[in-house]
A and B are shown apart, each in its own frame.
Chain A
Amino acid sequence: MALSMGVQMTNAHTFTTSMEPEREATAPDMTTQMDSVESWAPRAAPLEMPCQDIRPRARKFEYRNLLRLILPGQRI
């Protein structure tokens, strides 16, 4: 937890090699299953996720509407 990013990256290579024997020792049957990174992905179950409309609607200011509101029945 306290290790910095740099140290983590440094240790990454040794981690791979140092972990290999244990992996084989604890789970030998996994070697073939774990070979391909693609096989680690979750199963596909597509779901639609529509892009949302978040743009403010440009409303043109209609001054006549304002006048109609203030002066009803004036045929503006």
Chain B
Amino acid sequence: MRRAHMRPDPATVRTRSLAISFACLAAFSASALILEAGLQDGFQVWDALRFILVLLTTAWLAWGAALGLTGLKGRREAAEDFSKAEIDFDTAKTVVLVPICNEDPVATFARIAAMDRSFQEAALPLDIVILSDTRAPEGQAAEHAAFRRLIAETKGRDHIYYRNRTDNRGRKAGNVEDFIRTSGGAYKYAVTLDADSLMSGAALRAMIARMEADPNLGLLQTLPKIIGARSFFGRAMQFSAAFHGPVFTRGLERMQGATGPYWGHNAIVRITAFAQSCGLPTLDGPPPFGGHILSHDYVEAALLARNGWKVQADSTIDGSYEEGPENIISYAKRDRRWCQGNLQHSRLLLTPGLAGWSRVVFVQGISAYLVSILWAAFLITTVIGTILAPEPDYFPQPYQLFPVFPSDRSREIMALFLGIIGLLILPKIAVLVGSARAGRTADFGGTARALGSVLTEILMTSLLAPVLLAYQSRAVIQVLSRQDGGWPANARGEGQLSLIEAARPSLWIVMIGVAALFATWTFAPDLMPWLLPVTLPMIVAPVLIAWTSRPVSATRFTVAEDRVLPPVVSEFRDIHARWCAELTPAPTTPTPTGVPHVPA
């Protein structure tokens, strides 16, 4: 077994050094400003705390900005087009794996039918295997019926397979592992998908050709585009992913080099590399930190790199799609799972033999969640520090004739505030300018419309930031207090929420917002203008959640797929509509409520 991870090339080292320097510079500048302002009334413990908190949070923001700015520069040479490459499928036998658990079988299997047609059109002789972990008998029955329909639709009995696992050990990672142990020897490559993934034949041809061209490439990750969003929130996310996503992913490619990301789906793996590197053990102790590794994809990428395999992302491969959450509640539920998975990676930081950058990626994933707690702590220390600040001493010297007024540091605080906003907005504006110059905005309804979409998205994310911060902070506290959130199945297709439906899961945020506003008003009224942008969105959280879940027309947040629907997506919609129309309502059958929990 190979045990030496690849050394990063000089360009990757240069990019990483620049990004780290930028983040450190921004962080130290911001924390120096806050320290200088805080020391005007003498040193307090709150000043030291705020210094550390601003240092860490600004470093995180600057790191995100560096990722975007790194990806701004276009590729030096046009990416080689592999979508029409010749492949010898006698040696490059490939299987498409669709692990599912309590998913909507009609939609999932309709996607498979659409993809199968696209594969046939691209002359790809691929096998497709549905790996079901569904345990409920009625769920299994629905899948069996849908599979029969799929086979009838595709005539694919010779290359489309279905198996249901009786032992759900290891969840999705265990499901794929089980396939590799029992049937992996028949294939050279496996394309891993999610239940909501859609990939075109051309995309798969390009991925297989890239794997064939580089025998050291262990895993290739595509950048899936979000499709099918209908709500304000969903379409804003879809636009942001399509408009900013490729630039940020290009930055990620340059930063990570051969130690790239794996997001668990819409990727291709070399089966021998995966089999020799990615057998995941169970961690000692109970969940959330012990048990099965939840966010297995990051770990698998790190283990492949540990064994000397290249792991790369390629944002130029077209024809890779997925769906996204349609409202903030679905988004927060997904985030809770990811939070637990990422914090669990703290157990793996000292895994022997990992590439240094793989450890950085783990730290990055953990920081993405801990930073919410740090922001909340910064706000709390600011209010407490202001309340407990000593009265200014205008006559510090005995027999002093004239009073000494503390110098006004409002300008420094404003500079800090604008700097932080700049770190958040600058990369997005830079992407907009770069896209307008390159003519890329035409895909997004023209420059004016793209500008409108970018500004609206920034406004929406700014308004929602305190609400998302509250959800994320709660998730971190739950995990740190050892509460296992499990790994519930995705509730896909959840749509519009009424005000009542939005209020139920957000009432606690409203209460915290009201209490914070009251405390600020009573004890630190000077801070009101600074804290209103945080407390007001919290107080109106149910309105924001309900309002952003409303469906909007396709003219809002326009993306390229609104103008020309990709054939595989169009095919899926036709098949899905046809299959749904063939159904007859069954009003007497009780509807299960709640999201089913996937057993460990």
Contacts and interface: CB of A to CB of B under 8 A. Distances in A.
A45 B589 contact: no
A52 B307 CA distance: 11
A45 B161 CA distance: 14
Contact of A47 (B164, B184, B351, B493): B184
B574 to A, nearest CB: 12
A41 B131 CA distance: 9
Contact of A12 (B145, B493, B585): B145
B280 A51 contact: yes
Interface stretch (B151-159, B388-396, B433-441, B467-475): B151-159
Interface string A7-49: 1111111111011001100110010011001001111111111
A50 B107 CA distance: 35
B548 to A, nearest CB: 17
B105 interface: yes
Contact of A5 (B303, B580, B595): B595
Interface residues of A, number: 44
Nearest to A14: B586
B157 A47 contact: no
B589 A4 contact: no
Contacts of B184: 45-47, 49
A3 interface: yes
Interface stretch (B74-82, B174-182, B456-464, B560-568): B174-182
A11 B271 CA distance: 37
A54 B351 contact: yes
A56 interface: yes
Interface of B: 95, 102, 104-107, 127, 129, 138-139, 141-142, 144-149, 151-152, 155, 157, 161-164, 177, 179-187, 228, 271-272, 275-281, 299, 303, 323, 348, 350-352, 489, 491-495, 573, 576, 580, 582-586, 589-593, 595-596
Given A27-B155, A53-B352, 8 more contacts: A9-B142, A10-B589, A43-B183, A45-B187, A46-B181, A46-B185, A52-B278, A54-B348
Interface of A: 1-16, 18-19, 22-23, 26-27, 30, 33-34, 37, 40-57
